[in-house]
Every structure is written in C-alpha cells, then in structure tokens.
Structure 1
Amino acid sequence: MQGKDSIHASDGKAGRTPSNVVYFSSFKKAKNMSECLNVLLQRTDKYFSGFKKGSFVGIKMTVGDEGSTGYIRPDIVRVVVENLKARGLKPFVFDTNVIYTGRRQNAVDHLNLAYIKGFTPDNLGCPYIIADSVFGTDSRVIEVDFRNIKEIRVPS
C-alpha cells in the first residue's frame, strides 16, 4: 500500500496511467469501515466536480434476496449519502425489480424486504426507491456501441 493513510489507485496494469480506477484502502489505520470509506471519499473529490449543487445522484444498491446477507449494510451506504449531501447534492438509493420469482419481483414486496433489512430513509439518510415502477416495466432504451449489444433498457 502507498501513501500515509494507505490509499492508492490502480487499474491492475503496472506502468500505466489508470483509466478505470479502483481505489484501495487499508483498515489498519481506520477505526471502522465507515471511517475508512470517508477517507476514500475525501480522496476522490475530482469525481464529484462534474455535479452541480442540487443535482440528484442515484446510488444503485441491492438488498439481496430474502435470507441473503451479501449486501452492503445501510449504515455503510449512509456514509456515502452524507458525503454527497455535504457536497450540496441530493442523493437517493435505488434498485430495480428482478425477473425471477421472489420478493424483489414487484416494488411493494421489494420495498418491504428492503425495510426489513434496514434500508429505510431514517437509516440511509435519503429515500430508497424502486426505479422501474411497481412491476419493473418502466424503462427506456439507450443506444450503446458494444460488439454484440446495440441498445440497453434502463429504468426511467
């Protein structure tokens, strides 16, 4: 690890200037994950410079399926939310419904599951919304230029 607080950026290719940057941080000097994340966010100021004050900023999160524990906890997400708010931005956390059977197949059950797992406005510090409507049908087409894909649907 480099730097006094053990934070560095890398794209995994030695000797290259990173274009897609991944930041790494050591927990050794941080008291907890929230503190570690705050240090990382302070070091990434340039990525927020393109947002005008008052801009809405969506944070895509999954709460996972019923019974799963492999998701980022709401108290950690709140660190990002508070950081964005301090920059004069309007963050919200969002997810989309899934096409397979389960509690995330429609917005009502999905929100209830999210709330059970602690993804509430009180815990997050911002709203949690389902971005593609009650049944996951609200989307729009965006043109892309990938080898095998020319358009994608994104929640509207």
Structure 2
Amino acid sequence: SEFVMAVAVALIGRDNSRLYTRVTEREKDDYEVQMFIHCTLDIVEDKLSKATELYLGLLTSNHKYKSFGFVANTGVKLILVLSLANTTLKDTDMRAHFKRFHLLYTNCLSNPFYELGKPLKSRALDDASADLFRSTPAE
C-alpha cells in the first residue's frame, strides 16, 4: 500500500491569515483537512505561552490526522499535518522539515515584489511541499 509522508502544510501569519496552504492531491477536496488546520491554530496559541523554543512538536490529533507546529520569531506559524498512520517521521525529521520551510519563507520575504501579509506564491515552497507529499512504499 502507498504511504504519504504529509497531508498538508500551512504557513499562517501572526494575525492568523493564511499565507500559504498546500494539501495533497488525494485530500485536496476534503474540507476536514482545512478544519483540522483551523482547529490546530487554537492549540498553537495555547502552546506558545508555554514554549521555550520555536519548534512546538506535536500539537493535536484526531481520528485521521495529527499536526506539528513551529513558530518563527516573527510570529508566523508553520503547521505540518500528517496522517495519523504515519509513525516513521521522527522529531529530528520534523525539525529539519520546519527549518527548510522557514528558510524558504524568509527567502519569499526578501522578494521585492512580495507584499507583507499577502498570500505567498512560490515555486520553491510548492516544490518543498511536493517533496513532503511524495509517496514512499510503506515499511
């Protein structure tokens, strides 16, 4: 059977506006993923008050998904949604993925045509998302 690394990736502004969201092809019409991301935001706010580092770790899970979070020092939140069945990604992997997305996000900010707070259009972010969504054989 096929195994998908990640289901969705989202970058959320400090005002909770959606800066960038990508969902796997298989789940793209599933409203449940969008709702899950939305519900995760409340948990991010709660975790932020107790956080001692930018990586927030596992935020929440339901019957289908689990989410992990990272907050940039600018207040931008990065959320990664995985299938609940995904047990192969370790904490160190998650940190590496978030570091990569954070770097790509900062690159977007240095684009003179990017208007702060507006949704991001970035081939580099799209490619990084596609890498995360790439299916690998289940172990």
Length-normalised TM-score, structure 2: 0.23
Quick check: which has more Rg, 1 or 2? 1
Larger helix proportion of the pair: 2
Choose between structure 1 and 2 for higher RCO, CA contacts under 8 A separated by at least 6 residues.
2
Larger strand proportion of the pair: 2
Length-normalised TM-score, structure 1: 0.21
